[in-house]
């Protein structure tokens, strides 16, 4: 059951997004583009940025 105010479709989309971020993180580490710490920090920062935008969209369409 999704949290109050969120549709299952929105939650599924968010899960896909987070999964893609995680896969990017693993790829960057595996390819040696970033250290584990750098990759994690970068992805967490990106997720936070997009979640803030997601919240703005939710508020706008309510």
pLDDT, position 6: 75
Question: pLDDT of 9-57, one tens digit each?
Answer: 888 888 888 888 888 888 988 999 888 888 888 888 887 887 777 665 5
Angle (CA) 6-49-25 rounded to 5° is 100
What beta strand segments (E) does 1-54 contain? none
- Give me the domain span that covers residue 18: 9-61
Phi, psi of 15 (to 5 degrees): -65, -40
Whole-prediction pTM value?
0.60
Is pLDDT of 1 > 80? no
Instruction: Count structural domains, the chain.
Output: 1
2: in domain:
no
């Amino acid at each position: 059951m999704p949290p109050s105010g969120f549709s299952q479709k929105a939650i599924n989309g968010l899960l896909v997004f987070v999964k893609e971020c995680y896969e990017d993180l693993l790829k960057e580490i595996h390819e040696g583009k970033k250290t584990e710490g750098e990759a994690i920090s970068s992805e967490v920062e990106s997720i936070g940025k997009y979640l803030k935008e997601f919240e703005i969209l939710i508020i706008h369409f309510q």
